[in-house]
Structure 1
Amino acid sequence: MTPAIDRRSIPADASETRWTAPDGHALRRIDWPGAKPARGSILFLPGRGDFYEKYLETLEEWHRAGWRVTAADWRGQAGSGRLGDDEVTGHIDDFGDWVADLAALWTAWKAETPGPHVLAGHSMGGHLVMRALIEQAVDPEAVVLSAPMLGMAGPPLPLPMLQGVAKLMTLLGKPTRPAWKWSEKPGEIPARRRDLLSHDAQRYADELWWREQRPELVMGPGSWGWVERAYASSRVLERTGAMEAVEAPVLIVSTSNDKLVSHPAAVRASERLPKGELVAFGPEAHHEILRETDDVRDRATNAIEEFLDRVAPQRS
């Protein structure tokens, strides 16, 4: 009988290490060895303010299915240091810095792992994966995007206008200052935050448990600099012909109930991508689809498994 997955412990087969980017910045990573012969290899990148511990259940499932699995924290997040003026505000000078990290990690990781090679990302991680695909910085055989930040939820205004407002805010104060209020008490989780992320109380509680056990993982709002650079990067994705030139098969898992990222943008992306596919959810799913209730999560993970078996079959 296969043992149940403990979402509050690092699996025995996994190892936590550091990967050093070309400029010397250390990124935290976790790796699972694959079966022999391996099903292939998956590199997973989490979202803004995320950390890989939140996805241990999914990563361990992929490992048990025979995949060689790696996940990493983004520069300036979780266990990969900070780039702003405090320990809880997420800041980046430019999203291109993250794309460069992904490109370098992808090259090194691909050289040491068996194919087929799959790139997966959640939320902001999905945005950066798409940006790397458009810029031909990575060459996966298949891509899986969970609730990707291909557009942000918010006012239905033109991107140049939204970026202009955010740019003004970076000029009126320090770009590293928080762009929104987190809670009345700094560092405290907002009371209604779960309503944005998951219907599953236990999986949501797992995140809070990891934050208590590993305080270095805690992150709150993004900075005004992050917001302005996010809009700027979104304009790269929206360029005519950008997604249309992506050759890899891409599965997008999204929900119309998402209050953090734009579901319509995800739908449009699935239509723009030559080999794009969409699995859409409704009110039964919040933003963190891979951490939802079992019925929702099973549908998503089954769709991912079917997609990968079809477009990235195991090599003989």
Structure 2
Amino acid sequence: MTENAPLFNDLATGPEGGRAFWVTARDGLRLRLAIWPAGPRGSVLILPGRTEFVEKYGRAARDFAARGYGVITLDWRGQGLADRPVGKPMLGDVEDFLFYQWDLQAVLEKLDELGIAPPQHLVSHSMGGCIALRALVAGLAVKAAVFSAPMWDIEFGHFAGIVRGVARGGTALGLGPRFAPGTSDETYVLGQKFAGNLLTRDAETYGWLQAQARARPELNLGGPSLQWLDAALRECRDLARLPSPDVPALCVLGGAERIVAPAAIHARMARWPGGTLEVIPNAEHEVMMEIPASRTRFFDGAAALFAAHP
């Protein structure tokens, strides 16, 4: 049975005709699927990052619509309006990244149920890039993939060893469902002023993200759990050992990236046949939500890759 879900298009400011549906993963958790109608060139599947929700990609849907594509995206478990940990709604928690593959599969099955053609092109951001790489290695059928600052490792600088040890040890001791050190139930864009933020140099966009967070607190998410951090680091480590999939790919990275690890991205793209790495000078983590010139560069690059693999 298909059940409609809320889509706050006044916040998303996406193209007309957007719809949302509830989706059930194999373990019974409820997810949210959002669809902005396919354009003459088909649809793009966007896999969001940690803390994100479908409305955050309304502007991206508008940018893709201008280039002939519709957009399909989702709320991962524990985020947006998807089911969250009981009693800890602001905790970004998952025990194993395999569960995100279950979410993706549930969305693809729902599209089939709705009679919607599967998207032929994939875009992913941050944590979504980690999930996307695993899906592509497993055989996800798309013609081409674009990555925005993919989380193929996390940037901890000189403290990497300590953080990994704390995540692994804390989870082993049964402390996994607790906030990782230095994080809390406060959502990032409300706790951090524009000056000094790690996401974007575009003040207007940052203000838009803050307005979304204030208007719909139920969409917000705080920091990750220790076990999410441990699971993420294990998944990044395991993926680093695997060969790159035989899929044409473009990876776009901000030159000022400070959230995911640029070294892991450079290493992966150096051994991706048919893959291209583009670094945008001075851009921060959210290259799809950066200053207009950087955003245009991203969406034009994605559209060019998709057009080359229709």
TM-score by length of 2: 0.87
> What residue in structure 2 maps to residue 275 of structure 1?
274
Contact kept, 8 Å, 1:54 with 1:206, in 2: the verdict is: no
Choose from 23, 26, 51 the match for 1:22.
Answer: 26
Looking at structure 1, the residues matched to 301 and 83 of structure 2 have their Cα atoms a distance apart, in angstroms, of 34
Distance in 1 between the 2:258 and 2:58 partners?
Answer: 24
Q: 1:192-207, aligned counterparts within 5 Å?
A: 192=193, 195-207=197-209
Summarize the Cα distance change of 1:71–1:115 in structure 2 as closer, same or farther, 3 Å threshold: closer
- Counterpart-to-counterpart distance in 2, 1:286 and 1:56: 20
- Given that 1:41 and 1:116 are in contact with CA atoms closer than 8 Å, whether structure 2 keeps it comes out as yes
Distance 1:187 1:232 in 2: 25
The match for 2:62 is 60
Tell me: CA distance 1:295–1:7, structure 2 relative to 1, closer, same or farther (3 Å): farther
The residue aligned with 2:134 is: 131
Is the contact made by 1:179 and 1:224 (CA closer than 8 Å) also made in structure 2? yes
**2:186, 2:28 → 1: CA distance?**
31
Q: Identity across aligned pairs (percent)?
A: 31
Matches of 1:12 and 1:158, distance apart in 2: 44
Distance in 2 separating the partners of 1:170 and 1:85: 19
Instruction: Kindly provide the amino acid, as one letter, of the partner of residue 31 in structure 1.
Output: I
Contact 1:162 1:231 in 2 (8 A): no
Aligned partner letter, 1:63: A
Task: Identify the residue that residue 290 of structure 1 maps to in structure 2.
Answer: 288
Q: CA RMSD, aligned part only?
A: 2.5
Q: Is the 8 A contact 1:127 1:150 kept in 2?
A: yes
Deviation at 1:163, TM superposition (A): 4.1
Partner deviation per Cα, 1:28-52 (whole Å, 9 max, x = no partner): 12112223xx312211111011112
Aligned residue identity for 1:75 = R
In structure 1, the partner of 2:243 is 243
**Retained in 2: the 8 A contact 1:14–1:33?**
yes
> Structure 1 counterpart of 2:243, which letter?
M
User: Shift of residue 168 of structure 1?
Assistant: 0.5
Q: 1:24 to 1:180 in 2, by over 3 A?
A: same
Q: After superposing the two structures, state which structure 1 stretch, 122-131 or 270-279, moved more.
A: 270-279
Question: CA deviation digits over 1:238-275, x for unaligned, max 9?
Answer: 11xx233x111111111231110011211211122222
- Separation in 2, partners of 1:181, 1:163: 14
Distance 1:192 1:34 in 2: 36
Q: What count of residue pairs does the alignment treat as equivalent? A: 299
C-alpha change, 1:190 and 1:106, in structure 2 (3 Å) is same
User: Which residue in 1 is equivalent to 2:255?
Assistant: 256
Partner of 2:17: 13
Within-5 A mapping of 1:33-72: 33-35=37-39, 38-72=40-74
Distance across 1 between alignment mates of 2:109 and 2:49: 21
Could you tell me which amino acid in structure 2 is paired with residue 141 of structure 1? K
